[in-house]
Structure 1
């Protein structure tokens, strides 16, 4: 029995490293449009490194990245393609790897201030409907505020008749000076955990944040779930390799520098601590690549 389930790492940086078309504002969506074969290669690389959950390359398929016109004309087609490519990579590997349908923040990463509740259904529905035939579970990731996740979960419940598992990954305020871990909206992790329990999620993760911040959030989540007799909900983490981001930052606004200190062995030291704190779902976000996943797989196998 392995210690934890290994997720994949970041998609965008790996696409760029492999020479895929890659620029703003389309970000990782551009490769899906012009070179889906390279997207599949990235999925295959993560699986070969040890990932047993890979995430569809649908993160940037929102108007914030591809524009309203492209979203209306090609959103469904591109979301279906992202699901198909990931499904093929998983099935062809013969490893039992599962596919997580990425449901990104609909109004821009880190930007709780741009949230428009009345547009959630219009933007999320075509993505959910298009990914649904291809995925084994849902991953609402890099979420900055509670309400968006709750509304997206309600739509998934309505559309997905199979009731596949629903995971949510929150992104955290980078400041280490706050008294308790906060979402980028300013909402507390405790309140987020309680709200997620109410809507029936299967896992609570933290992503696209510095590893230094994530550990405390895992501890708080574990304590809160235990106090509510909800230990069946899994906890997870997949950090990014960015330096601290200012409050007005937008993830992927430019091509952010990557920390040189988060080598695979250095990242593994954080993973080991997260496992001790109770995490059972672990991968990587922006800047964390197949080489990091391979080290996690070695650790997992050595300690199983």
Structure 2
């Protein structure tokens, strides 16, 4: 396979969709504070199978189940540091195995969620984490160094909830040695339209960053985020259109990934495109068919 940066020059690449959503549909409980990370720890074969479903549906990038894995929240759940590192490594391995199970080639993107994701309190939608840029940098760097050892193809630094956390991850990936994309939480109230686009532009200038964009947001929030061109391709993977209630820990609204804006996203420079929360392998298949028809 080409490296992912080179592939983006040739045309759009299909990302997968909601791993937790697919695990939940298969009967696994993802309502706890560790979400899909708990399934990864207890039933890794289920996570491998979910990755295989996405690969079979046409996903060319498989995102690992490491989004919620941090050393502090795993310690609170009874995992020591060595066990947390093993779980991060396992997340990469089962994604590769999922692609092999489906008989498909796929890049493996190690999911690096925001600090708020490990708190399981919805703060990835608010940016209210109470930490300084330096504190966030130290927190991210520890996990990044652990997951880099597992040799994923790319780091999916995603749902970053504030300009301060974006600055922290930009510092943390300096010299990390693996290409990255940085996706901001366009649903976070810590960003307005101007600061979102300014942060995307700054992120795109960082060495090793191959794409920047938005994820975990309503599909209708994507277009404004792509209004200003940046130095690298855009990555886009919105939610299905449903809304998360952090207090009740439930989703509301109508499921399904609306792709009415796809042509506009592509025209604006989006090259990594997929789905986030509440999207399914069926949504990935529909997206892959649309993109392959354009090719």
Instruction: State TM-score, norm by structure 1.
Output: 0.81
Q: Is 2:204–2:212's contact at 8 Å kept on the other side of the alignment?
A: no
Instruction: Give unpaired runs (5+ residues) of structure 2.
Output: 1-6, 118-123
- Cα distance in 2 between the residues matched to 1:115 and 1:72: 25
- Cα distance in 2 between the residues matched to 1:113 and 1:255: 20
Match of 1:47 in 2: 55
Match of 2:227 in 1: 219
Q: 1:70 aligned to 2:78?
A: yes
Q: Is 2:170–2:203's contact at 8 Å kept on the other side of the alignment?
A: no
Which of 170, 175, 191 is residue 186 of structure 1 equivalent to?
A: 191
Instruction: State the 4+ residue runs in structure 1 displaced beyond 6 angstroms.
Output: none
- Cα distance in 2 between the residues matched to 1:81 and 1:253: 30
Match of 2:116 in 1: 107
> Aligned ranges for residues 145-294 of structure 1 at < 5 Å?
145-158=162-175, 160=176, 163-173=177-187, 184-186=189-191, 188-200=195-207, 201-220=209-228, 222=229, 225=230, 230=231, 233-243=232-242, 250=246, 254-257=249-252, 259-260=253-254, 262-263=255-256, 267-294=258-285
1:205: Cα distance to partner?
A: 1.6
- Cα distance in 2 between the residues matched to 1:115 and 1:122: 14
CA-atom RMSD in angstroms: 2.5
1:212: Cα distance to partner?
A: 0.8
1:244: Cα distance to partner?
A: 5.1
Q: Is 1:62–1:71's contact at 8 Å kept on the other side of the alignment?
A: no
1:186: Cα distance to partner?
A: 3.0
1:297: Cα distance to partner?
A: 1.3
- Cα distance in 2 between the residues matched to 1:10 and 1:65: 22
Distance 1:89 1:140, change over 3 A: same
1:40: Cα distance to partner?
A: 0.5
- Cα distance in 2 between the residues matched to 1:66 and 1:242: 30
Match of 1:9 in 2: 17
- Cα distance in 1 between the residues matched to 2:260 and 2:154: 28
Match of 2:98 in 1: 89
Match of 1:180 in 2: none
Distance 1:71 1:208, change over 3 A: farther
Local SS of the residue matching 2:115: coil
Local SS of the residue matching 2:105: coil
Which of 59, 65, 69 is residue 61 of structure 1 equivalent to?
A: 69
Distance 1:282 1:64, change over 3 A: farther
- Cα distance in 2 between the residues matched to 1:124 and 1:211: 28
Deviations 1:164-207 (CA, angstroms, capped at 9, x unpaired)? 2210001113xxxxxxxxx5313512320232134332211210
Local SS of the residue matching 1:29: helix
Instruction: State TM-score, norm by structure 2.
Output: 0.83
Match of 2:288 in 1: 297
Q: Is 1:75–1:127's contact at 8 Å kept on the other side of the alignment?
A: no
- Cα distance in 2 between the residues matched to 1:47 and 1:29: 20
Local SS of the residue matching 1:209: coil
1:115: Cα distance to partner?
A: 4.1
Deviations 1:63-98 (CA, angstroms, capped at 9, x unpaired)? 686453535443212111111111222355453310
Q: Is 2:227–2:268's contact at 8 Å kept on the other side of the alignment?
A: yes
- Cα distance in 2 between the residues matched to 1:100 and 1:184: 26
